[in-house]
Structure 1
Amino acid sequence: MDAQLIAFTGVSAGLVAMPGADFTVVVRNALVSRRAGIACALGIGAGLLVHVALAVVGITAVLAAVPALFRALQVVGGVYVLYLGVQTLRQPHSPVGNPQGGPTARPLRQGFVTNALNPKVSVTFVSVLPQFVPAGAPALPRTLLLALIMVAVALVWFQVVALLVDRLGRWLRRPRVARGVTAVTGAALTVFGSALLAGPLRALLRAL
């Protein structure tokens, strides 16, 4: 592995580990069960593959160049994350669940939609990946390799988060602790959703 790939892997780890909607929705599902947390993490990986496809075919460059399209995706993604936050806050006293888990379709879908509808991920791909393509190197295979490294880092990180939350499950599922963690998780999702909506709303107000 060349020095640029090593450096990019480190940068990817830093970007992926930054707390955000993906992290919060994994924690939210891992509190239900290990299976739900892992499924949610896999959903995030699948969402990242959407951004990989967009980056490879160059659509993300169009996304960055067309503010209206970017804002529309921000609104859709923000509304969905905000919905998850409100739903979580509305049920702070509900039982957290059991470690055996249940159906995985919903957490898988939540992870996928939360990531896939976040246009900032696409912009991150567009802005970061070109910096690690050596001059004169074929852009397409290198970009694809870098994008897949980021996906792999994300899959490992969010699986670790899900397993760690499950490992601490007995303590986290105590009624008082569970209520606190659920409230914090719901508030965090609400904040992240509101932040995604703030940009296009400010742009709309400036246009009026």
Structure 2
Amino acid sequence: MENFYMFVIMSIFLIILPGPDTAISTKNTLTLGRTGGVKTMFGTSCALLIHTLAAVAGLSAIIVKSSLLFSVFKYVGAVYLVYLGIKTLWALRNKNTAATTEMTTENKYESKSCFKQGFLTNILNPKVAIFFLTFLPQFVDSESNTFIPFLIMGITYTVLTVVWFLFYIYLLNQISAFMKRPKTQMVIEGITGTVLIGFGIKLALEKAHN
């Protein structure tokens, strides 16, 4: 493995860039508190580990080289992101008419789905598979066995993601007094829903790599 420290530094910058994972974590943290954010983060991390194993096994290469498989992952992922965006906007529309007891029941139910949302948002994004195939090889000697280095870098990237999201969720939770004001939350949820739909559309328009 070459330039491991450079890999760590670049990974940190890439992880903190806003994306679908950040959007869904923000929404779940603001609406369901720290528990919702942490569950979302664990879902995202599990998906990253699967992407790592897929890259090591060469499955990601098959997805990238196959236009059909790439398109399947792309459109399924895009539809799911749009679905989450519409669901967020719909919940925002109905929030003012929901009773307090109903909201409590709904929040408990939604909290259980946070892991699934984080997992599916990441695992159904073919750009993550492409990222692992194009980014990781930059730090590995092509003439040596790449199995262990890929595995170490994938796990390292996942750990860095967990650390960042734990800090991000903690920060959001600390300023929740302001962030959870009805008007503030409505604005943020509206923006988050729109962003998720935007990510979904952007993903759908991505060209397949041959």
8 Å contact kept, 1:73–1:117: yes
Whole-Å separation in 1 of the counterparts to 2:46 and 2:33: 20
CA distance in 1, matches of 2:34, 2:79: 27
1:117 equivalenced with 2:124 (yes/no): yes
Q: Distance in 1 between matches of 2:23 and 2:81?
A: 10
Between stretches 149-158 and 36-45, larger displacement belongs to: 149-158
Paired letter, 1:8: F
Partner in structure 1 of residue 80 of structure 2: 80
RMSD: 2.0
Q: Mind listing any 5+ residue stretches in structure 1 that lack a counterpart?
A: 204-208
- How far is the alpha carbon of 1:135 from its aligned partner? 4.9
The correspondence of residues 1-208 of structure 1 with structure 2, limited to 5 A, is 4-31=3-30, 32-93=32-93, 94=95, 102=108, 104-199=111-206
Output the CA distance in 2 between the equivalents of 1:164 and 1:82.
27
Q: Please identify which structure carries the higher helix content.
A: 2
Which amino acid letter does the alignment assign opposite residue 113 of structure 1?
Answer: L
SS in 2 for 1:138: coil
| C-alpha distance after superposition, 1:22-59 (max 9, x if no partner) | 00000000012110001101110011011011101001
Given that residues 36 and 114 in structure 2 are in contact (C-alpha distance below 8 angstroms), is that contact kept between their aligned partners in structure 1?
Answer: yes
Residues in 1 aligned to 2:49 and 2:9: alpha-carbon distance in whole angstroms = 20
Moved more, 111-120 or 154-163: 154-163
TM-score (norm 2): 0.88
Q: Determine if contact 1:36/1:102 at 8 Å carries over to the other structure.
A: no
Segments of 5+ residues of structure 2 without an aligned counterpart are: 97-102
CA 1:133 to 1:3, structure 2 compared with 1: closer, same or farther past 3 Å?
closer
**TM-score, structure 1 length as denominator?**
0.89
SS of the residue corresponding to residue 183 of structure 1 reads: helix
What count of residue pairs does the alignment treat as equivalent? 198
- For the 8 Å contact 1:26–1:161, the answer to whether it is kept is no
Identity, in percent, stands at: 30
* Deviation beyond 3 Å, 4+ runs, structure 1: 101-104
**Alpha-carbon spacing, 1:3–1:126, altered in 2? closer, same or farther (3 Å):** closer
Match of 2:141, SS? coil
